[in-house]
Amino acid sequence: MQLKGLFTPLITPFNDNNHLNFSTLDALVEIQIESGVAGLIVGGTTGEYYTLDDEERETLIRRVVARVNGRMPVVAGINALNTAEGIRRAKQAEDLGCDGLMMSPPAYSLPQQHEIESHFQVVADATPLDLILYDFPDRAGVTIEEETVKALAAHPSIVGIKESSGDMSRLLSLMGQDLGDFRLICGCDDQAADHLWWGVETWISGSANIFPREQAELLRLAAAGDQAGLREGMRGMLPVIQSMESGAYNQKAKLGAGLRFELPVGDVRQPLLPLDDSEVENFHKLMESFNGE
């Protein structure tokens, strides 16, 4: 899988009955492709994977793969609470025609590092698909420590790590390791320009649901060495991104995408709840400020 450029962990649109909204889903896929995005993650955290039942999961992946139809790689988010489920989801993704996999350590069970390492290795061994690690300790309850990353980077089909800890010192430390062609991937949207400036070439961006074209453009500016453009582009998006990261990330990803592309993406599913009116209004104002630039 070509793991370079902007990858969008796609929001999962629901209709008024709280079912998958296929027409909006198709429209979102087309918007992402037209915007110059390099690839999609389906069934990821921003896609509220943890609210999908097994049938919905399969239907969702199948639909996105079909709609994309080879125009870009499709990566399946395969977070699982245990290793066997991770393997099942990996094989399902392979069967459904996905190009890659992304997975965090299992949440809740607090595995130790050697257990995290084995979990990823066993899942990676189960399919020929490329696997992206995902480090987001606030969610998973555990981090993938640097030594574990180094060990896993040696696996032929473990191809990169989405860094969402927000710890720039960790990124700089990992950049100093010899990790071969294992990719460090920006997973911290507000720090994206820093990642790109340091030579990171991949960005998995939840906020690309709102800013696909602008963020794909950021990657081009970075590759072209246009520093002023990179900073200016980043600065323009920061207020919205910072608002997302301050709370209600998923609600705002949907709100922003719906607003920007005039699509009925629907609400988040419970346990998350829609924003209240004043929160919606505040976020709208931030969006308008962006548009007004």
**Which residues are documented as binding site for pyruvate?**
46, 204
Rule CB under 8 A: is residue 109 a binding residue for a second copy? yes
Structure tokens at 111: 């595995």
46 within 8 A of 253, measured Cβ to Cβ = yes
Task: Clarify whether 162 is annotated catalytic.
Answer: yes
Which of the stretches 22-30, 112-120, 127-135, 177-185 binds a second copy when contact is defined by CB under 8 A?
Answer: 112-120
Burial of residue 85 (CB within 10 Å: 0-12, 13-18, 19+) is: middle
Rule CB under 8 A: is residue 239 a binding residue for a second copy? yes
User: SS3 for 155?
Assistant: coil
Rule CB under 8 A: is residue 227 a binding residue for a second copy? yes
For residue 99, give the nearest of 126, 130, 125, 68 by alpha carbon.
130
Strands (E), the chain: 5-9, 39-42, 74-77, 100-103, 130-135, 158-163, 183-186, 202-204
248 within 8 A of 279, measured Cβ to Cβ = yes
Q: Return the residue of 85, 232, 267, 279 that touches a second copy, per CB under 8 A.
A: 85
Rule CB under 8 A: is residue 139 a binding residue for a second copy? yes
Task: Clarify whether 50 is annotated catalytic.
Answer: no
Rule CB under 8 A: is residue 194 a binding residue for a second copy? yes
Give me the active site residues, please: 134, 162
| Residue ranges in contact with a second copy by CB under 8 A | 45, 48, 50-51, 53, 79, 81-85, 105-112, 114-116, 118-119, 122, 138-141, 166-169, 172-173, 176, 188, 190-191, 193-194, 197-199, 225, 227, 231, 235, 238-239, 242, 245, 247-248, 250, 269-273
